[in-house]
Homo-oligomer: A and B are copies of this chain.
Amino acid sequence: MQLFYGHIEGTEFHLDAGEIQHCVKVLRKSVGDHIHFITGDGALYEGEISFVSKSKVYGLFTEVEHEFGKVPYNLTVAIAPTKSMDRIEAFVEKAVEMGISRIIPIICEHSERRTIKTDRLSKIALSATKQSLKGALVHIDEAISFQDFLAQKQEQLMIAHCEYDETKKGIHEVLNPSRPLCIMIGPEGDFSPTEVLAATSAGAKPIHLGSSRLRTETAGLVAVATVYHLLG
């Protein structure tokens, strides 16, 4: 199924500007054709095109499926952006494909990258949402500092850090499956001891992601894949 991204107003839909060329030039859709689209609100829609030009495609729509492709859990990952943008981009794409609700870039004491363009990550997330047949857009927050993130007081917070700590457990050992979940993943140089202490003092459960030493984005993917396996 080919999915487009669009917007709705009353009983009309219009495709997003970024979709027009693909719809009209590449796929040669025209008046009377039926297409499937999402708006990011979670549903799948079907529309019949009633107008096509170089800059606009619109028509009437019907909702087809509520909670389209929804995974049965609510997962946020707060992750330190990697030095190489490719790596965090790969994380975003694959996390969205599996199923995630929100991604929060956090700037930590050991972060080499201290700024990040979230509009590019949002585009990658939208593309992966369509590719993996899901109706809800993943929210990519603007980057915030570790301290500001902790002040947000996430529900069921877990911190995956690499320091030796015999109280660390696997996700499956501490997970409450019925509550929203937020997992923190540190930068290339790990969370600092001060950050680990601040997080656990704020109620975050220290977790490990198995015995292998993982890169930041791989750790993020393992966390998402584990929740997807346990609750998906």
Interface residues of A (CB under 8 A from B): 69, 71, 90, 93-94, 97-99, 131-134, 170, 172, 210-215, 217-218, 221-222, 225-226, 228-229, 232
Q: Name the distance in Å between A151's Cβ and chain B's nearest Cβ.
A: 31
Known: A99-B212, A210-B228, A232-B211. A221 touches B132 (CB 8 A): no
Q: Which residue of B lies closest to A231 (CB)?
A: B210
Q: Which residues of B contact A211 (CB under 8 A)?
A: 69, 71, 232
Known: A69-B212, A71-B212, A229-B210. A218 touches B98 (CB 8 A): yes
Q: Name the distance in Å between A156's Cβ and chain B's nearest Cβ.
A: 19
Which of A99, A132, A221 has the most CB atoms of chain B within a 10 A radius of its CB?
A221
Q: Name the distance in Å between A168's Cβ and chain B's nearest Cβ.
A: 14
How many monomers of this protein are in the complex?
2
A210 vs B170: C-alpha distance in the bound complex, in angstroms? 20
Q: Are B94 and A212 in contact (CB under 8 A)?
A: no
Listed from nearest, the 6 A-B pairs whose CB atoms lie closest are A225-B225, A210-B232, A94-B218, A97-B218, A133-B213, A132-B213
Tell me which of B170, B212, B217 contacts A98 (CB under 8 A): B212
